Structure 1
Amino acid sequence: MTGNESPSRSEDDRLAVVVAKPRAQDAIDALQAEGVYDADRSVSEHGADAVAIPVTESPENVSHREVVRQVGEPRLRTLEDHLHERGWSDDELDAAPGSWAVIGSVVLVDIGDAPRPGEVGRALLTMHGEADTVLARGPISGTHREPDVEVIAGEGDTETVHREHGVEYGLDLAEVMFSPGNKAERARMGDTVESGERVLDMFAGIGYFTLPMAAADADVIAVEHNPVAFQFLLENAMRNGVQDRVQAYRADCRDVLAEGLDAFGEAPTVDRIVMGYYDATESSGDGGFTYLDPAIGALAPEGVVHVHEATPESLAFERPIERIEAAATNAGRSVDVLDTRRVKGYSEGVAHTVVDARIR
C-alpha cells in the first residue's frame, strides 16, 4: 500500500505512516501542521532505513511510503515517565534534563547534573525512534566556536543531516555548533530576503542563514573561518542546489572587508548583511567597533544589517541599538530600527537578541 491509501481500520487500530528515516523530522512537522500526528505514541523503526510515525488518520498532504497499523500500548509521554519506570527516585527525577533537541539522527541534550547519563540517553532513544545517537552538550568555546559533546547512548555517529523548512544541513555535531533555538530565525531570514539581493553573511558557519537566503534566490557572499564548518558550508550549498548563488570564502570576515569586496570579484557593497555572532557589536577599544565598522562600510545606501548579540536582559534592546547607532555615526550615516527580537535565552540573565536596522 502506497501514497495516501488507508487500510480499513477498526476502533482499536492505531495507524502510522512510513517515511525514510532522514525525512522523519520534516514529516513529523508536516503531520503536526496537518493535525494528524498522534503524540500519544512513539515513532518506531520500520525496517533498516525507515520509521513509522503514529497518526490519528491517514494524512492528505504529507508524502509517505505506506500506511501501516501499529498495535501496542500508548507511549510514555515524558522523559520523567521513562526514568520513573527505570526506578529513578523523586530526587533523581528533579535533576533530570529539562531540554533536548533532535538534530537529524542525533539527540542533543543538556544533561546538567543528572545521574546515570546513559539511562537518560537510552530513554531519549526510546522516545525518539528517528534518532540513533544521544550527545550530552557542553559549552561552545574557542575562536572557531567549537562544541564540547559526549556520546551517552546509541551508535555514537555524530555526523548527520538535519532538515528544517525545506533546507538540509549536513554537519558533525562533535566538530561544529548547531543551535536548535535559532530555527525560527533561520526560517525568517529566508522569508526576509528578496530575489536578486546581494547579501553578506559575515559568520556563515555551515550555512545556517546562508542556505535559506540562497534558497530564496538571494546572492550570498558567505565567509567562515573554521575549516571544518567551511567544508560543510561548501557541501551544503551543493546539497541544497544553491552553489551558483553562494560565493564562499574561508577567511576572517574582517580581512575580507579590509580588502574590499571588489578585491574578491564582488561589487564593493551589498544590500544586506547578517552578523550572526554573539559578540558582533564588540568595541575595538579605540572608539570604534570590531565588526560593525567594516560591516557598515560595506553596506549600500539604504542597506539593512541584522545584528545578533548576547545582551543582558536589563539592556535589551538598548545596548545593541546604541552600538549600531554609534557605528553608523562614525561612518556619517544614520539608523532606522526596523525590528527587534529576542531569539532565546543565552545564559542566566542574558538573552540572544537580534536588531534589524536600515543604515541610511
Structure 2
Amino acid sequence: MAGKCLALVVPAGHAQRVRTLLKQRGWLNPTFRVVRNEDGSTSIPVISCDVSDWLVLLSEAGLESNKKLGTPDWRLVEGIEFPLCRHSPSPHERLFKAVSSILELHRDGPELPPDWRDQLPRRWERHGDLAIVDQQAFASPFWDSFAPELWTAVTKALGVRRLAKQGRVQPDGFRTPTVTLLLGSDGLVERRENGISYTWDICTCMFSTGNAQEKQRAAMWDCTGETVCDMYAGIGYFTLPVLVHGRAKLVLACEWNPNALHWLSVNLQRNGVSNRCRVLPGDNRKLSLDEEVDRVLMGILPQDPAALPVACNLLRRDRGGRIHLHLTVTSFPEATRSDKRTTWLAAAQSEAQRVETLLDESRAGKWKAVVEDVFRVKSYAPHMTHVVADILCRPH
C-alpha cells in the first residue's frame, strides 16, 4: 500500500537530524515511511507549513537555506509516493507491557505503589547494547524485589542486553556520573557519531548525546594548519571532530579527570589522530605553554570565570583567533523564537566585551572581539538554554 504527499528531500547524512526536528514540531507525516532515493538522498513525508518555518528548521539541521523553495542541499517536492507505515508498538508501549507482565506474575507480592506507572522510564539513552534510564525511573525500592527478572524484561523491551540507571553528577570537580548498573557486568560502551568512534565507561565518564549537533558543527570547521586548544577535552568530545574532520595541525587537549584521560588516549589511538594531539593532564588554569593557538574550545557548563583569561592569553599575539564559548542563557516559554535569539546574542556580546577587556588589559595595543554567531545546543534546565558563542578576536 502506498500514497502521495509533500516530501522534504535532504542528503542522507542529515536525514536523521531533520526527521527528529520534524517530529518535535509535529510536521512529520506519520502515515508514511521515509524513503531512500537512488541518488543517495532521502525523502521524508511532511505536512505543509509556512516557508519561514522551513528555513529555521533547515538552519538548525545544518543545511544551507535561503528564501527560495530549494537549494542544492534540500528541496520540497509535491506528490511523492511513499509506502504506508505499518503500526508497531513504540518502545514505551513495549516497556509498559513487559513491566505489567512481571507485575502480573508476582501479583501476590509487595503492594504496588500508587504512582508505579509514573516511575516507568520516560526517556533513556542507548549506547550499543546498553540503555541508561533517567534517575526518576524505578525510584521506589519496591522494584528491587523483582530483580533481575524485571531488568531482563526491560532490556528485551528496549532491545538491549545491559541496563543502567543515571544518578546525579558528583560534586568532585570531575563531573563524575553516579550510575547504577541494573543488569550487566560493566559500563564499557562504544558510540559512533559522524564517522568518529567514542569509547568510554558510563560509570566514570560523562557523555551528552544532546551535544551531537555541536560536535557535527565543530567537524565542519576548516582548521587546516591551525593549532587548537580544547580546554575541557574529556574523552575527546570536540577534540576528535576538529582532528578527524577539521584537519587541525595540532590540538592541545587539556583534561584533569584521570578516567577521562584514559579514554581520551584510547579514542585518539582508535581514530588514528594521536600524532596530532598533545594531551595536557591537569588544571587548565595553570597552563604553561610555549604555543600560541588559533582557536580555543571552552565546552563546559557551568562556566568557570577563571578560565576565560587563560583562553585569551593563548590566542596568537600577531593575529588573534577564535574562542568558542559555551554558556547558558535564561529564556521564557512565552518568548518568540526571534526574542530568544536576541537574548542569546545579547549574552554572547556581553561575553565578547569581557574578552575584549581582558585582551586590552593583558596585551599592548587595542583589541576587538566580535560575536560571529551564536548557536543553540540544547535545553539546559527549565527556562535555560545551552548556547555556543563564536567570538573572533583580532588586534585593532
Q: Report the TM-score, using the length of structure 2 for normalisation.
A: 0.64
Match of 2:120 among 60, 72, 96: 96
Deviation at 1:75, TM superposition (A): 4.9
Match of 1:278 among 286, 301, 313: 301
Query: Cα distance 1:340–1:59, how it changes in 2: closer, same or farther (>3 A)?
Result: closer
Q: Identify the residue that residue 387 of structure 2 maps to in structure 1.
A: 353
Match of 1:158 among 187, 190, 207: 187
Q: Identify the residue that residue 175 of structure 2 maps to in structure 1.
A: 145
Deviation per CA, 1:93-128: give whole Å up to 9, x if none. 344332211123321221415453868854552244
Deviation per CA, 1:52-75: give whole Å up to 9, x if none. xxx99999899xxxxxxxxxx975
Where does 1:1-360 land on structure 2 (aligned, <5 Å)?
75-84=88-97, 86-87=99-100, 91-114=115-138, 116=143, 121-122=151-152, 124-129=154-159, 131-141=160-170, 142-153=172-183, 155-216=184-245, 217-218=247-248, 219-256=250-287, 259=288, 261-262=289-290, 267=291, 269-280=292-303, 282=305, 290-300=306-316, 301-313=319-331, 316-332=344-360, 333-360=367-394
Show structure 1 runs of 5+ residues with no match. 1-10, 12-27, 36-54, 63-72, 283-289
In 1, Cα distance between equivalents of 2:228 and 2:34: 43
Indicate if the aligned counterparts of 1:76 and 1:82 stay in contact, CA closer than 8 A: no
Indicate if the aligned counterparts of 1:31 and 1:59 stay in contact, CA closer than 8 A: no
Query: Cα distance 1:324–1:96, how it changes in 2: closer, same or farther (>3 A)?
Result: farther
Query: Cα distance 1:97–1:324, how it changes in 2: closer, same or farther (>3 A)?
Result: farther
Deviation at 1:197, TM superposition (A): 1.6
Deviation per CA, 1:178-209: give whole Å up to 9, x if none. 11111111121111232222110000001000
* Alignment: residue pair count: 287
Question: RMSD of the alignment, in Å?
Answer: 3.3
Identity of aligned residues (%): 29
Deviation at 1:355, TM superposition (A): 0.8
2:133 corresponds to which letter in structure 1? V
2:214 corresponds to which letter in structure 1? E
Query: Cα distance 1:244–1:102, how it changes in 2: closer, same or farther (>3 A)?
Result: same
Deviation at 1:221, TM superposition (A): 0.8
1:275 corresponds to which letter in structure 2? M
Indicate if the aligned counterparts of 1:277 and 1:308 stay in contact, CA closer than 8 A: yes
Show structure 2 runs of 5+ residues with no match. 2-11, 20-32, 41-85, 104-111, 333-342, 361-366
Deviation per CA, 1:225-267: give whole Å up to 9, x if none. 11110111111100100011111111211111xx2x21xxxx3
Query: Cα distance 1:310–1:135, how it changes in 2: closer, same or farther (>3 A)?
Result: farther
3-state SS of paired residue (2:176): coil
Q: Report the TM-score, using the length of structure 1 for normalisation.
A: 0.70
Deviation at 1:86, TM superposition (A): 3.3
In 2, Cα distance between equivalents of 1:247 and 1:170: 19
1:210 corresponds to which letter in structure 2? T
In 2, Cα distance between equivalents of 1:102 and 1:30: 20
In 1, Cα distance between equivalents of 2:13 and 2:150: 24
Deviation at 1:80, TM superposition (A): 3.6
In 2, Cα distance between equivalents of 1:158 and 1:152: 11
3-state SS of paired residue (1:334): strand
